[in-house]
C-alpha cells in the first residue's frame, strides 16, 4: 500500500471539526487521526469533544455535530496529554491543514499547557498539492476546458475571448452546472451565506456581525464600535474595499447591518 510513498517515521493524517474557524475563540468538537507506520500498519482513531461553548448552527450545518452530541464527551484538556504523546513522533498530513487544522490544534494544545511544534515535522497538505498540480490560471483553464494553448495571454482581448470559451467549455463538460445566469451566479459565490461583504472581512454569527480577520477576529462589530472605535477608524483609512470601509464607517455612527433573512442563521 505504501509503494508510492516512503515514510521515514509515522505519518498522522488528521482532520478537525470545530465550532468555527478562529483558533483564538473556537474549539474542536471532533478530531480523527489515521496513524500510518513505515511498515504499513495503520491505526484510525476518532474522538468527539465537548467544546465548552455552544456550537453555532452554521458550524452544525457543515459537520452535523450538535451540542447534544458532545454534551457528555471529554474536553480537549482531558485528552491533551495523551494526544500530544500520540503525535509526538509523527509527521503530519491532511487537506488544508496548514490553513486550518494545524492552527486550530496548536491553539487547543496551547490552552492546555502544551507547545505543539511543527518546525521539525514534515507537513504534507493534499490541498496544496492539488493547487500546484492543477493551477487556477486562465491559461491552465483554457488548456483544460478548450484543449488549446492560449496565445497572447494577459492581453485584454485574448483573455476575454478565452474566458468566454472556458465558460462554455465548463457548461458543456459539467451538465450539472446551472444554465441560467441567476443560479450560476449563486453557484459562483464563494463568500458563503455567512459573509457580510464579498471579501469576508465581516461575517454573520447568528444575527450579529463579527470581524473575520486580524487580532479582533471573533469580536462583534457592535462591541468594537463601543470599546475600540480606533480599529474601525483604521479600517476606513486603510486598503480595504469600499464595501468594508462603509460597514466600518456606519458602525462608528451606530448603524449596523441587518440580516435580511433572520432564518438564515439556522440554515447555514
Each residue's pLDDT tens digit, 72-84: 999 999 999 999 9
Helix, strand, coil percentages in the chain from 3-state DSSP, rounded to 5: 40, 15, 45
Name the pTM for this structure: 0.71
Query: Which CATH superfamily includes the segment(s) 11-129?
Result: Ribonuclease H-like superfamily/Ribonuclease H (3.30.420.10)
CA 13, CA 263: separation in Å to the nearest integer? 37
Predicted confidence at residue 206, as pLDDT, reads 86
Domain assignments of the chain as residue spans, ordered by start: 11-129, 202-256
Tell me the CA end-to-end span of the chain in Å, nearest whole number.
39
Residue of 23, 21, 45 lying closest to 32 (CA atoms) = 45
In tens digits, the chain (268 residues) has pLDDT values of 566 788 989 999 999 999 988 888 899 999 999 999 999 999 999 999 999 999 999 899 999 999 999 999 999 999 999 999 999 999 999 999 998 999 999 999 999 999 999 988 999 999 999 988 988 899 999 999 999 999 988 899 999 999 999 999 999 999 999 998 988 888 887 777 888 998 889 999 888 999 998 889 899 999 999 999 999 999 999 988 889 999 999 999 999 999 876 444 444 3
Contact 61, 267 (CB under 8 A): yes
Alpha carbon distances (Å) from 149 to 131, 133, 144, 165, 173 = 20, 17, 9, 12, 18
- What letters, b where the CB count within 10 A reaches 16 and e where it falls short, cover 91-124? bbbbbebeebbbbbbbbbbeebeeebeeeebeeb
Residue partners of 45: CB distance under 8 A and separation at least 6 = 32, 33, 35
Each residue's pLDDT tens digit, 234-260: 999 998 888 999 999 999 999 999 987
Amino acid at each position: 500500500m505504501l509503494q508510492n510513498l516512503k515514510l521515514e517515521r509515522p505519518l498522522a493524517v488528521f482532520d478537525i471539526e470545530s465550532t468555527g474557524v478562529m483558533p483564538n475563540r473556537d474549539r474542536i468538537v471532533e478530531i480523527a487521526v489515521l496513524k500510518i507506520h513505515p511498515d504499513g500498519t495503520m491505526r484510525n482513531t476518532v474522538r468527539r469533544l465537548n467544546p465548552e461553548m455552544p456550537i453555532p448552527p452554521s458550524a452544525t450545518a457543515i459537520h452535523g455535530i450538535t451540542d447534544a452530541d458532545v454534551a457528555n464527551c471529554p474536553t480537549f484538556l482531558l485528552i491533551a496529554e495523551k494526544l500530544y504523546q500520540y503525535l509526538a513522533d509523527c509527521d503530519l498530513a491532511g487537506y488544508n491543514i496548514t490553513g486550518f487544522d494545524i492552527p486550530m490544534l496548536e491553539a487547543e494544545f496551547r490552552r492546555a499547557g502544551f507547545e505543539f511544534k511543527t518546525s521539525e515535522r514534515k507537513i504534507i497538505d493534499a490541498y496544496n498539492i492539488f493547487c500546484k498540480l492543477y493551477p487556477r490560471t486562465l491559461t491552465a483553464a483554457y488548456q483544460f476546458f478548450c484543449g488549446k494553448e492560449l496565445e497572447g495571454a494577459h492581453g485584454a482581448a485574448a483573455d476575454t475571448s478565452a474566458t468566454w470559451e472556458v465558460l462554455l467549455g465548463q457548461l458543456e463538460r459539467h451538465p450539472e452546472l446551472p444554465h441560467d445566469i441567476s443560479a450560476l451566479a449563486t453557484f459562483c459565490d464563494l463568500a458563503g451565506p455567512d459573509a457580510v461583504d464579498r471579501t469576508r472581512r465581516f461575517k454573520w454569527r447568528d444575527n450579529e456581525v463579527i470581524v473575520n480577520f486580524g487580532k479582533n477576529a471573533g469580536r462583534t462589530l457592535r462591541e468594537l464600535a463601543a470599546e475600540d472605535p480606533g480599529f474601525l477608524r483604521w479600517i476606513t483609512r486603510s486598503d480595504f474595499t469600499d464595501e468594508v470601509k462603509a460597514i466600518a464607517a456606519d458602525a462608528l455612527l451606530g448603524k449596523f447591518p441587518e440580516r435580511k433573512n433572520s432564518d438564515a442563521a439556522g440554515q447555514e
